[in-house]
């Protein structure tokens, strides 16, 4: 496997082989991007300047049949948090990139001339993207599919990324061909835009460069695990992540009205069950895989009432933050918001939190979907209003002088009330990534070991262990290229280490693998410390401590000192 380093200023490409004695040998995806950022990116640099680097990397298990192992990590210094950031995404291109023998693309420099990168037979070439400038992701992908064939993989940015808006996302095409999968968090689309890269096109490769050391042992490990996942996630496969809408509302932790409430009286109208009924009745698709090796298949294809495709993979976080959080109760409206965000290339989570703050301030009426659509078009055009809303919730809050902002380290909270879900409240406050549920999703039913008691959901007891362990094991899964839905648990670390050994001819123990995860987290915390995001930034907005949630009457109850000391666990 190799790294491809692209200097966009000089329009040059260099390749670096990853050998067994390379410092990158046991690093993939998030682990690889975090190590490169720590070693090669000045912590005080401008995230949209020439010294930041954008890393697009696949995992150590990507290219194999390990279930749910074909996700891409996109990493850089974040324009939203000014710290280290990784956002991962499913879709077609990660597995295809691995087949070309490429573990990561590393972009450095800066350019105002937009290009696209073509990858053919393991070789990269740079081409002018002048004809594609300004296009939304849907039109762009349509043109690229027409030009290069329907089986290509694509990473791209929309107008928001070109305009360097700090909530911009990186899109990947899904297995149906739509640009519906997004590395949304952290504004990494703006970093890609600063590099002048409009798209990366990966052509199919018949013979894979991914090597398997012991296929028989690998299959013996992974085949029963894939079967177990498919059977145990049946409800998830049927209803998708949207199944959580009613559940979170019943717990009182559904973001509603800018986190002023945790239950939504009209949740039934935007529930997973309602979504399922609409998709089926209109001839859409259920049980879609987000990536080629996905066995859980929790995605969907949403059509309008005339049978036209609107969006794919309508997920809980989008439905909650662009639905209940804004007091919107029409799934068609939410689906169209999702479509526009995907087309423009803006993170649905950050956008939903931003709109919630705008409505909370009185600038826009609650539930005004028409105004939401208008603002999205302003973002597309790059107008003054568009830039007000396209640069993240903290930018909006500063500009309109509104203090009640649900964010950590500059990034909006992603869909679960931290006063109710105590474990994820710790993850939000302490993760190097900012307020990101995927960093350690300690919500109802989530444990990090089958043999430990982490206490009641709404109590502090056990939650430091729960959040820490989930963050650690999720870091490892991210570095494998795996979806965290397979289970970030102590037990699964044994399975993952065994799969790595069979695939790469290694002799890793579970403890060795966990040590790799610890080292990755230390990399991320070290970079953030140098970038000015030390332990004092492990904090939650004060209104979560001061205001009791409705209807649970719960408050955020971890002390600031406890949050500052959270990562001392890495030293034990």
DSSP string, 14-69: EEEE--TTSTTTT--HHHHHHHHHHHHS-TTS-TTSTT--EEEEE-TTBTB--TT-
Same domain, 465 and 363: no
User: Could you give the 3-state DSSP secondary structure of residue 469?
Assistant: helix
What Å distances lie between residue 558 and 200, 424, 425, 426, CA to CA? 44, 12, 9, 8
Q: Report the C-alpha gap between 169 and 107 in whole angstroms.
A: 16
Both tokens of residue 262? Answer: 């945790």
428 falls within a domain? yes
Report the predicted TM-score, pTM, of the whole model to 2 decimal places.
0.96
Residues 256-278, mean pLDDT to the nearest whole number: 96
pLDDT value for 173: 97
Q: Report the C-alpha gap between 468 and 471 in whole angstroms.
A: 5
pLDDT value for 298: 82
Same domain, 447 and 353: no
For the chain, what percent of residues have pLDDT higher than 70? Answer: 100
Residue holding tokens 């009209």?
A: 266
Same domain, 110 and 31: yes
**Last residue of a domain, which of 393, 426, 447?**
393
224 falls within a domain? no
CATH number at residue 297: 1.10.569.10
pLDDT value for 64: 96
Asked whether the predicted pLDDT for residue 313 surpasses 90, the reply is no
Could you report the per-residue pLDDT of 426-470, keeping only the tens digit for each? Answer: 999 999 999 999 999 998 888 999 999 999 999 999 999 999 999
Same domain, 473 and 534: yes
Paired with 170 in beta bridges are 183
Q: Which residues of 318-327 are buried (b: 16+ CB within 10 A; e: fewer)?
A: bbbbbbbbbb
226 falls within a domain? no
**Last residue of a domain, which of 393, 428, 451?**
393
The number of distinct structural domains making up the chain is 3
Same domain, 239 and 388: yes
Same domain, 141 and 13: yes
401 falls within a domain? no
Asked whether the predicted pLDDT for residue 223 surpasses 80, the reply is yes
Q: Among the listed ranges 21-35, 219-233, 319-333, 509-523, which one has the minimum average pLDDT value?
A: 219-233
Same domain, 198 and 243: no
DSSP label of 185: T
Same domain, 47 and 182: yes
The distance from CA 144 to its chain's CA centroid, rounded to whole angstroms, is: 24
Same domain, 377 and 441: no
Could you report the per-residue pLDDT of 458-498, keeping only the tens digit for each? Answer: 999 999 999 999 999 999 999 999 998 889 999 999 999 99
Same domain, 156 and 28: yes
CATH number at residue 130: 3.60.9.10
481 falls within a domain? yes
407 falls within a domain? no
CATH number at residue 494: 1.10.599.10
Same domain, 60 and 194: yes
CA-closest candidate to residue 318, choices 292, 340, 346, 348: 348
**Last residue of a domain, which of 181, 202, 223?**
202
Asked whether the predicted pLDDT for residue 572 surpasses 80, the reply is no
Same domain, 370 and 426: no
517 falls within a domain? yes
Its domain, for residue 127, covers 2-202
pLDDT value for 297: 86
408 falls within a domain? no
For the chain, what percent of residues have pLDDT higher than 90? Answer: 92
Concatenate the DSSP letters of all residues of 91-138 into one string: SSHHHHHHHTTEEEEEEES--SS-EEEEEETTEEEEEE-GGGTT--HH
């Amino acid at each position: 496997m190799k790294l491809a380093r692209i200097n966009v200023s000089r329009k040059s490409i260099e390749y670096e082989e990853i050998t067994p004695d390379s410092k990158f040998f046991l690093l993939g995806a998030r682990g690889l991007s975090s190590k490169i950022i720590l070693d090669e990116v000045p912590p005080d640099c401008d995230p949209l300047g020439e010294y930041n680097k954008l890393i697009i990397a696949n995992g150590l298990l990507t290219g194999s049949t390990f279930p749910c192992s074909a996700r891409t990590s996109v990493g850089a210094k974040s324009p939203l948090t000014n710290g280290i950031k990784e956002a991962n995404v499913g879709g077609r291109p990660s597995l295809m990139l691995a087949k070309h023998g490429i573990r990561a693309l590393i972009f450095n420099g800066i350019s105002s001339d937009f290009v696209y990168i073509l990858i053919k037979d393991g070789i990269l070439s740079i081409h002018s993207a002048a004809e594609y400038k300004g296009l939304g992701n849907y039109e762009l992908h349509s043109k690229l599919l027409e030009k290069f064939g329907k089986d290509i993989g694509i990473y791209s940015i929309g107008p928001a990324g070109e305009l360097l808006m700090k909530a911009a996302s990186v899109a990947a095409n899904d297995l149906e061909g739509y640009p519906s999968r997004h590395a949304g968090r952290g504004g990494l689309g703006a970093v890609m835009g600063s590099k002048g890269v409009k798209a990366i096109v990966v052509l199919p490769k018949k013979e894979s460069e991914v090597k398997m050391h012991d296929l028989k042992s690998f299959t013996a490990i992974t085949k029963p695990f894939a079967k177990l996942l498919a059977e145990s996630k049946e409800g998830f496969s049927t209803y998708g992540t949207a199944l959580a809408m009613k559940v979170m509302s019943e717990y009182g932790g559904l973001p509603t009205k800018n986190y002023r409430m945790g239950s939504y009286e009209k949740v039934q109208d935007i529930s997973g069950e309602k979504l399922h009924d609409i998709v089926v009745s209109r001839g859409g698709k259920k049980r879609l895989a987000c990536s080629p090796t996905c066995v859980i298949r929790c995605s969907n294809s949403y059509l309008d009432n005339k049978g036209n495709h609107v969006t794919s993979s309508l997920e809980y976080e989008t439905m909650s933050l662009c639905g209940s959080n804004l007091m919107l109760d029409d799934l068609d409206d939410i689906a169209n918001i999702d479509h526009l965000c995907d087309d423009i290339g803006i993170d649905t989570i950050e956008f939903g939190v931003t709109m919630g703050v705008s409505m909370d301030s009185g600038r826009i009426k609650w539930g005004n979907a028409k105004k939401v659509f208008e603002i999205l078009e302003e973002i597309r055009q790059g107008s003054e209003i568009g830039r007000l809303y396209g640069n993240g919730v903290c930018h909006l809050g500063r500009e309109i002088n509104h203090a009640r902002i649900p964010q950590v380290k500059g990034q909006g909270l992603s869909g679960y009330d931290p006063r109710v879900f105590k474990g994820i409240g710790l993850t939000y406050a302490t993760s190097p990534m900012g307020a990101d549920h995927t960093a350690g999703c300690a919500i109802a039913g989530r444990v990090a070991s089958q043999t430990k008691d982490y206490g009641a959901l709404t109590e502090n007891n056990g939650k430091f262990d729960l959040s820490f362990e989930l963050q650690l094991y999720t870091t490892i899964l991210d570095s494998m290229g795996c979806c965290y839905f397979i289970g970030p648990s102590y037990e699964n670390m044994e399975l993952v280490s065994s799969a790595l050994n069979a695939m790469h001819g290694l002799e890793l123990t579970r403890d060795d693998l966990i040590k790799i995860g610890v080292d990755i987290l230390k990399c991320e915390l070290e970079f953030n410390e140098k970038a000015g995001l030390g332990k004092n930034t492990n904090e939650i907005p004060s209104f979560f401590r001061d205001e009791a949630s409705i209807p649970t009457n719960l408050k955020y109850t971890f002390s600031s000192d406890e949050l500052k000391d959270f990562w001392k666990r890495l030293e034990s």
